[in-house]
Structures are given as C-alpha cells and as structure tokens.
Amino acid sequence: MELSVIIVNYNVKHFLEQCLYSVRQALKKTSGEIIVIDNCSADNSLSYLRPAFPDVRFIANRENSGFARACNQGWKESRGRYILFLNPDTILPEDCFETCIRFLDQHPEAGALGIKMLDGSGHFLKESKRAFPSPLTSLYKLFGLSRLFPASPHFSRYHLGHLDENKNNEVDVLAGAFMMIRKDVLDQVGGFDERFFMYGEDVDLSYRIQEAGFKNYYFAGSSIIHFKGESTRKGSMNYVRMFYTAMSLFVRKHYGGGKAGLFNGLIHMAIWFRAALTALGQFIRRIGLPLIDAVVILCSFWLMKEIWSQYVRPGIEYENRLLWIAIPGYTIIYLLTAYYAGLYDKWYKWSELIRSSAIATITLLAAYSLLPEQFRFSRAIVLFGAVLAFLLISLLRLLLVRTNVISSDRQKEEHSAFVIAGTAAEYEQVLRLLEEAGFHQPVMGRLAVDPADGSALGHYKNLPALTRMLPFREVIFCQGHLSFAAIIESIRQLPPGLTARIHAAGSHSVIGSDSKDSSGEAVSKESSYQLADPYNRRLKRLLDVLFSLVGLLSFPVQLFLVTKPFSFFRNCFSVLFAKKTWVGYAGSADALPALLPAVLACNGLPAGNPSSLTEESIQLTDDWYAREYKPWLDLKLIGRAYRRLGG
C-alpha cells in the first residue's frame, strides 16, 4: 500500500465530508487507506459520515486527546509506505497524492513533504513554508518587521518570505495541515510528541526529521485549499496561550544554554504583548462592548432626565436617591433584554440592533408599569432615553465596524446574490439543498462548466467579466463535472470581492470561508433547524435556568404538585448546572443539533420511558421539534407534563 491518510476530526463534520470526497478522488490514482480519528466530537460526526464513507476506517475517542496523540493513534494503525497527516478542513486536487509521491520517490534524501496551501479566498498561506523559530525571527515577527519586509531573507525568515511560493524548496518546518512522511522515517524518529496538545507538534517533528539526517521539502507542484478556523481561532486568548506555550516547550526541548534563556524570555514577552492586544480586542468585543453600551445607555437616561426636568417639566424635582436606583436598574434591564435578543452575537447586524433595541424598550416600559408608584418618575424619560440610547449605540457600532474592531454581516444581511457553477442537474441539486437549509440569498443563475453550454449566464472561467456585468458576490462551485483541481485553480484566480463555496458530488453540505482568519462556514440541511440558531439556543438555556430557579425557590409547593418531588429537586439542580435540559429529544437524534440529556422528551413523556411510537415516528417527532423549535414549545410541554417532571 502506497499511502495512509490520517485525519483528526473535532466538530467539523461538514468540512470533513467535503475533504473525504476530495481524498477519495485523489486515491483513485494511488493505492491507499483513510483513517479518521474523532476526538469526541459533539456534532454527531461519526453517525453522519459513516454511512457515506464505508471505505473509511473511523476511530472514536472518548475524550479530546489532542491533535498529536490522535495522529499517533492513526499512525500506529496505518499500513502505507507513506503517511499523510491531513487536516479535515482541506480540499485536495485529484493529482495531489500522485505528484507528491513521485517527488518523494525522486528525492530519496527527503524525509517529509509539505505543500502549497491556499485559504478559502485563494490567497497563499505563508505557513506553507517556515523556518525553525529563533530569538531574532520571533522578535521580527512579534514587532511586525516581517510584515513590513515580507520578502526579506533576514526580517521575514519565519515564513521564508524570500523563497518563491511557486517553486519547490528545502525548508525547515512543514505545516501539520498537510505533512507527508515516509513510514520508515516516522518509525525511526517517532511520531508527534504528545506533550504538544495543539500547535508546535509539527515544528518539533520537522526538527527531529532534520536531526535524523533527512530533508524537509516545500512542494509547489500542487495546491490545496485550507479553510482554517475549525478549532482554536487565531487572535483568541486561547490561541495565544496555546501557541506560545508550544513554542516555549519546543525551545526547552531542543535549545540549550543562553540561547534557550533568551528565547524563553522573548517568548514570555511575546505572550504578554500578544495577550494584552488580544485581551483588549476581546474586552471590547465580548465584555467591553456591553460595558460601553451600559455607559451609553446610562448617560442617555441621565441626559434625557436633565433635558426633561430643565426644558419640558422644569417644575418637577426628581430625588437623587430614586435616580441612583431607577436609572441603573433600567440600564441593566435594557442590556439583559438586548443580549437575549441577539445584540451581542458573533456578527453585528443593523437589523439585530433595531430588533434588540425595540424589544428592550418594550420590556423596559412593561417593567416600569409594574413598579410601585414611589419608584416611577417619568414614562417619557424612559421612552426617549431608550430612543437616544439606540441612536448613540448605532453611531458607536458604525465607528467600531469602520475601524474593524467588530465585524459586520452587512453582505449577508443584504442577501447578496450568488451564482452556481455546474451542470443543470448539479444546479438543481444544490438549489434543493440550499432550500432545505433555509438559505435565503437570491440566486442569479447558473455558470456553465461546458463551453458548448449556451443555456447559462456565462462560463465559469469568465468570472472577472461577469462580475462587472452582474451584481453577485458569491460562487458555489459544484464538483462533479468540474474536478477539484479545476475548482481550486478557479478559487486561486477569484476577482477581488468575490467569495467561493464548494459542494462535492454526493455530499449534503456546502462549505466556504472568506479568509485565513475567518472561521469556515457550512450550509446543510441542519442549518434550517431553529434549534441550531444561537438565538433560540440562548433562549432555551434562559428558560431552563429560570424554570429551575422558580422550581427551587417554590420547592415546598412542589411537594403537592409533582409526583416525585425530590427527583424534581435533583432535576432542577442538574438543569441549573447544565447537566440536563428540561425538554429534549425522545430518541438518539444523532443527525440533529446536539442537546443535553432531557428530563422530558418532546413527545411529552419523561425521557427514557418506553414509548408505543415506532422508531420512525420518534425520529419524525424529534426532527419536527428541532426544525420548528420556539421557546413557547418547551413551556407548553412542561405545563402539560408538570406532574411528571420528577421522572
């Protein structure tokens, strides 16, 4: 057997689905096997993929054991002359394995090979070729000199910027996203060092391959797409901590004396420097943004109170003691309501700001009307203060979007049009998939993949000219009549402002990513489930917590209302600490959005109780619950089965 392809998966089943289709095509020209190690994914990866890929050997871990350990698991099970460690968020051309193996066969001094990698927009990924970390290269990278002088052999040594990305070269470090190694070399030097949980394990193995007398090569004779963003996102605090901890471990392991001390000092300086920048960005995006909004809202109410008392109702005096309680209270209510209405979701949307502000204002006025008379001071101040807060928050969001502190989803909100590159049959298939997924962006039409096809908007190779004539911003490439190699080449040549997605023949998803720093996105039938929407999941969790608190606070009353009150009491604690949810699936529901174990099944019976319904009926019930979920459904089911909530 020529090749063993080893892929570690963690919660990226749709990306892995497309990857496996491309690997399967590439193996048609090479004898090999595919081994997938699943690191305890929570997205039902195995039950989703196993039926479609009976030729793949799946290994299920009971915990997330880390990338290095999972790779070693696959290596020990492998039988190929060459071992390829491959990321699940990659797409390969059909000739990839054939050309890589030919290169290695022609270079007996080569111990391992990396490849030219492109991001989801077709841009070259600099980590395709790297040098070993050193104090100076790390310092240049840390202070941005490598960006200022990207082609300098001195300042940009970390990413070997002076080497032509379109030529084969001997390099130091190969990326773990695509690392093809001779089996006998791997047996000699050993697998990945399992002390590296994530990041740095590829640097360490590359170093040991060179230490053993072999060479590492960057191969430009083929290109792959690497979507990235499937695990720890770049720029996150967790990424900074894990990356620099891995570098520190590498230095302690391979560098000695004063060099190690200097390097570790620089690494710790880098950790603090990057952590400070990351913390500042995250503070604004996650914590600081609500705090800034709180200040804006607080000032809006206070300013409106001053305007009202001086110019509208100058004869009325408001007690400071009352204002110090009421205005902060209104601010907290406004913020909490806006949060659960979606104001602080991943992407900033103008529509979400309008919706969350409207809901918060209505909630605020409703809460105001329920207050005792002594705690009210003016309904008009509350209303106009909320309106002023909305206007100021809108201006603030506009400023933060313009300065790239937060991301806007303007294109998605405006439902930018897209086209589908494929045959007429592929076009219809993808349209059905998108319809099932609840994908509402307008489709402009089809791009032909056959030059003789005159029934389409144009040919996919004429994208630059078509974008000047038609207002579409997205292309879905259908693999089938088009090869993966042709799709990768087309993505590499995409005009600016155009993004791409990929759909493999036989698959049930469409995947894509706008850049190397943005998380990849998948569209599938599951996307249409209301229960997969973060907004609904957040409301479901809020309902779980509130009902549990009410149940605990009124526990003596439950002795008479619930048949098993002490079991109900335990369930309240389990739900409160996110061990259970009050309402969930009646069956296994492997293909549905993941939920915690349920107290009450969505068919109205206590979870785990035998049902007279057939397995098919249970599946249909679960599917309906996930697809049509609204919070009131949980309330309705809880009300009907209240007495049985103790089990």
- Tens of pLDDT, residue by residue over 465-510, are 998 888 888 999 999 999 999 999 999 999 888 889 999 999 999 9
Q: Which of 21-30, 90-99, 375-384, 566-575 has the lowest mean pLDDT?
A: 375-384
* Mean pLDDT on 539-550: 91
How high is the pLDDT of residue 282?
58
> How remote is the C-alpha of 25 from its chain's centroid?
27
How high is the pLDDT of residue 613?
72
Q: Is the pLDDT of residue 411 over 50?
A: no
* Mean pLDDT on 222-250: 64
- The pLDDT-based confidence of 375 (bands split at 50, 70, 90) is low
How high is the pLDDT of residue 615?
80
For the CA atoms of 57, 15, 5, 167, what is the dihedral angle to 10 degrees?
Answer: 170
Angle at 99 between CA 98 and CA 104, to 5 degrees: 100
**Pairwise CA distance, residues 156 & 131, whole Å:** 10
- The pLDDT-based confidence of 298 (bands split at 50, 70, 90) is confident
What's the start-to-end Cα distance of the chain, in Å? Answer: 55
How high is the pLDDT of residue 231?
44
> Is 488 within 8 Å of 224 (Cβ atoms)?
yes
Backbone angles phi, psi at 645, to 5 degrees: -75, -5
User: What is the layout of strands, in order, in the sheet containing 499-503?
Assistant: 458-459, 443-448, 417-421, 472-478, 499-503, 509-512, 521-524
Backbone angles phi, psi at 171, to 5 degrees: -135, 175
Place of tokens 């773990």: 176
> Is 181 within 8 Å of 83 (Cβ atoms)?
yes
**Pairwise CA distance, residues 541 & 582, whole Å:** 9
Q: Is the pLDDT of residue 324 over 80?
A: no
Cα separations in angstroms, 204 against 4, 8, 222: 21, 18, 25
- The pLDDT-based confidence of 86 (bands split at 50, 70, 90) is very high
Task: Name the DSSP class of 337.
Answer: H
Q: What is the pLDDT of residues 583-605, one digit of tens each?
A: 999 887 766 888 899 999 998 88
Q: What is the pLDDT of residues 328-374, one digit of tens each?
A: 776 777 777 767 666 666 555 666 677 777 777 787 777 767 766 65
Q: Which of 288-302, 334-348, 473-487, 565-579 has the lowest mean pLDDT?
A: 334-348
Place of tokens 């400023």: 399
Q: Is the pLDDT of residue 322 over 60?
A: no
Q: Is the pLDDT of residue 232 over 60?
A: no
For the chain, what percent of residues have pLDDT higher than 90?
40
**Pairwise CA distance, residues 274 & 243, whole Å:** 11
Phi/psi region, residue 554 (left: phi>0; alpha: psi -120 to 50; beta: rest), is alpha
* Mean pLDDT on 76-102: 96
> Is 584 within 8 Å of 561 (Cβ atoms)?
no
Nearest to 116 by CA among 107, 125, 103: 125
